[in-house]
């Protein structure tokens, strides 16, 4: 079967031996395009009908199962399925989990009490420091001999270990005993 091109000129078609009339006859090319679009339909409608058909093929068996087998509405059935899945994923807390939670709460309370006591101590120390109530530690007095001398450059040096054994020094004194 030979396919007739409606845009092919009549004279060339006749020269090739194709004398059959075209589908659209002798009408303008813009009208031919309009008729082609009208006959073919919009591609969006084809996709829309296919999507609706697929959704119906999925939803109808689910609706029939819940309506005829379970005797509940589809909405209630889907909620039950959702709840069952959530129970499998997040099981309810058992006694073991409650004990762990209790221990965790006790640990948090002990930590909170420790921090509160520590904050009280810090507050007291801060207030005491601001009011100068803290007694500074008394400096410890060194007990023993302190040796002093002038080095080669004339700088006075103090030591508690003794005079240098190598090097020149002048004016060596034992100052405190």
**Residue for token digits 């023993």?**
144
Overall pTM surpassing 0.75 (yes/no): no
The angle that helices 43-64 and 74-89 make with each other, rounded to 10 degrees, is 80
Best CA proximity match to 24, nearest among 39, 2, 45 = 39
Pure H helices in the chain: 10-15, 29-40, 43-64, 74-89, 95-130
Q: pLDDT truncated to tens, each residue of the chain (177 aa)?
A: 455 555 555 556 556 555 555 555 566 677 766 666 666 666 777 788 889 999 999 999 999 999 899 899 988 999 999 999 988 888 776 656 667 777 888 888 888 999 899 899 888 888 877 776 555 556 666 667 788 888 888 888 888 888 888 878 888 888 765
Q: What is the DSSP string of 27-77?
A: --HHHHHHHHHHHH--HHHHHHHHHHHHHHHHHHHHHHIIIIIS-S-HHHH
Helix (H) or strand (E) holding 156: strand 156-159
Best CA proximity match to 159, nearest among 168, 147, 176 = 147
Nearest-angstrom CA–CA distance, 19 and 40? 26
Please tell me the predicted confidence (pLDDT) of residue 28. Answer: 67
**Residue for token digits 């889907």?**
78
Domain residue ranges of the chain, discontinuous segments joined by +: 10-71, 102-136, 146-176
Beta bridge partners of 159: 147
Nearest-angstrom CA–CA distance, 83 and 65? 18
Nearest-angstrom CA–CA distance, 159 and 148? 6
Please tell me the predicted confidence (pLDDT) of residue 76. Answer: 92
Please tell me the predicted confidence (pLDDT) of residue 61. Answer: 92
């Amino acid at each position: 079967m030979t396919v007739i091109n409606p845009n092919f000129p009549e004279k060339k078609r006749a020269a090739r031996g194709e004398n059959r009339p075209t589908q659209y006859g002798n009408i303008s090319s813009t009208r031919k395009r309009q008729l082609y679009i009208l006959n073919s339909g919009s591609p969006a409608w084809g996709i829309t009908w296919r999507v609706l058909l697929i959704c119906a093929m999925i939803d109808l068996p689910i609706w029939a199962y819940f309506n005829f087998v379970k005797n509940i509405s589809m909405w209630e059935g889907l909620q039950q399925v959702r709840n069952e899945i959530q129970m499998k994923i997040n099981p309810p807390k058992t006694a073991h989990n409650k004990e762990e939670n209790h221990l965790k709460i006790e640990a948090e309370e002990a930590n909170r009490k420790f921090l509160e006591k520590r904050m009280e101590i810090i507050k007291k120390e801060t207030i005491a420091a601001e009011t100068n109530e803290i007694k500074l530690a008394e400096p410890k007095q060194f007990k023993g001999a302190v040796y002093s001398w002038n080095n080669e450059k004339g700088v006075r040096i103090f030591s508690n270990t003794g005079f240098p054994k190598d090097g020149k020094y002048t004016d060596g004194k034992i100052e405190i005993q």
